[in-house]
Structure 1
Amino acid sequence: MKPEKLKPQASPMQDPHRVSEAREKVLEVAIGRAVRNFRRQKGMTVADLSSQTGLSIGMVSKIENGITSPSLTTLQTLAHALSVPLTSFFRRFEERREVMHVKSGEAVVKERAGTRAGHQYHLLGHIGANASGVIVEPYLITLSESSDVFPTFQHDGIEMLYMLEGEVEYRHGDQVFLMQPGDSLFFDADAPHGPEKLNKLPSRFLSVISYPQAD
């Protein structure tokens, strides 16, 4: 079976270089997003929320879009209608955004579940519970002369590989991909996967695994 090649798309789903507008950083926008998210979680329409709070549909819309600054009384009314604490509207604005810088040679060597002989994992960074609801684990993996092939890893989440050095035949499900420097592989990690044949050693590649954080 021939490997599936990436097909060009008309436009990316999200611009990775987009700069947030100044208005997205203010308190009103954070409150508006929180109100909208809670409303949607309750399965309510803007009209439903308007009816329960006595606010006009236009006012609810302005609040959700961060166009107006709601009074404390209005926020209390919204919190009551949505059955959430008043303080929950401010959490996103006050959240601390984590960052981790790992200097060359300082990555943590880690034994992952199912790690095989000669598979060296260097964890390049880790951020725990966060606002995105997603955990991401970036690894630098080195396969040495003594590496054991093991094409049946399985775990939750999505994984992306980027080949840096060497050459490996990497299996995912019933397909095998020849991985050479500059090649990438993006896949559902719940299917059996892993290096099936080590053609050129040592081999090094980046592995980025993402999965939903536990509730």
Structure 2
Amino acid sequence: MQDAFKEIAPRLAGLRDALDLSVEAFADVVGTDAQTVQQHEAGQSEIPVGYLMQVAKATGVELNTLIAGSESHLLSYSVVRNGKGLTVERRKDYDYKNLAYRFKGRAMEPFKIMVPPKEQKDVTFTSHSGQEFIYMLEGRLEVSLGDKVEVLEPGDSLYFDSRTPHGLRGLDEKPAHFLDVIL
């Protein structure tokens, strides 16, 4: 299976070309630097969902279009049945399911995420614009936020500024399942 970021990269480059923007101008529109734009358009590494959300918001293109290459169509409501969310294969160690992928003009991106257990040294950090809300469903999740560490259990929630570097891992040798809403 091809890495998802290799499929997303040409859509990003195509969007920039369609907007007739240089790499530098696109970086300004998105709120990042030209090196980041070039790296993501080249498909050389994973593309953070936060970056894709920045591109979607700045250009008016739906996140689905960037991730899956298709647009949402439902305007009044959308039902996604258990286990049927749009799989977002952007990280090998997390299982993302977008729970609102059919709804056009979303103001937020809700995901059901599974994070496997791992050693502290194997936690990878990310940061992106926006805010994030986590609601724990199953297992225990360690969330590192900068130099702070929180352990969440079923029923716990966490709201934070997504610009804070954050890393996640399941605890007790079990995966953690949670809802994650990104604004």
TM-score (ref. length: structure 1): 0.44
Structure 1: which 5+ runs fail to align?
1-95, 211-215
Matches within 5 A, 1:169-188: 169-188=142-161
Residue 105 of structure 1 deviates from its aligned partner by 2.2
Structure 2: which 5+ runs fail to align?
1-73
1:137 aligns with 2:106: no
Relative distance call for 1:125 and 1:200 in structure 2 (3 A) is: same
* Per-residue Cα deviation, 1:139-187 (whole angstroms, up to 9, x for no partner): 1111235799534111111100011111121111221101111110000
Residue 198 of structure 1 deviates from its aligned partner by 2.7
Residue 197 of structure 1 deviates from its aligned partner by 6.0
Runs of 4+ in structure 1 off by over 6 angstroms are none
The residue aligned with 2:181 is: 208
Cα pair 2:117 2:176 within 8 Å, conserved: no
Equivalent of residue 125 in structure 1, options 100, 104, 112: 100
Matches within 5 A, 1:60-75: none
Relative distance call for 1:181 and 1:152 in structure 2 (3 A) is: same
What letter is aligned with 2:128?
Answer: H
Cα pair 2:117 2:174 within 8 Å, conserved: yes
RMSD: 2.5
* Per-residue Cα deviation, 1:102-126 (whole angstroms, up to 9, x for no partner): 11221111024xx2x3210011113
Q: Which has the larger radius of gyration?
A: 1
Identity %: 34
TM-score (ref. length: structure 2): 0.51
Relative distance call for 1:208 and 1:193 in structure 2 (3 A) is: same
The residue aligned with 2:129 is: 156
Determine the C-alpha separation between the residues in 1 that align with 2:123 and 2:109. Answer: 20
The residue aligned with 2:64 is: none
Relative distance call for 1:122 and 1:147 in structure 2 (3 A) is: farther
Relative distance call for 1:189 and 1:128 in structure 2 (3 A) is: farther
Matches within 5 A, 1:1-215: 98-112=76-90, 115=91, 117-126=92-101, 127-129=103-105, 135-144=107-116, 149-196=122-169, 198-210=171-183
Determine the C-alpha separation between the residues in 1 that align with 2:109 and 2:76. Answer: 14
Determine the C-alpha separation between the residues in 2 that align with 1:183 and 1:151. Answer: 22
The residue aligned with 1:89 is: none
Cα pair 2:93 2:115 within 8 Å, conserved: yes
Aligned length: 108
Residue 208 of structure 1 deviates from its aligned partner by 0.4
Relative distance call for 1:204 and 1:197 in structure 2 (3 A) is: closer
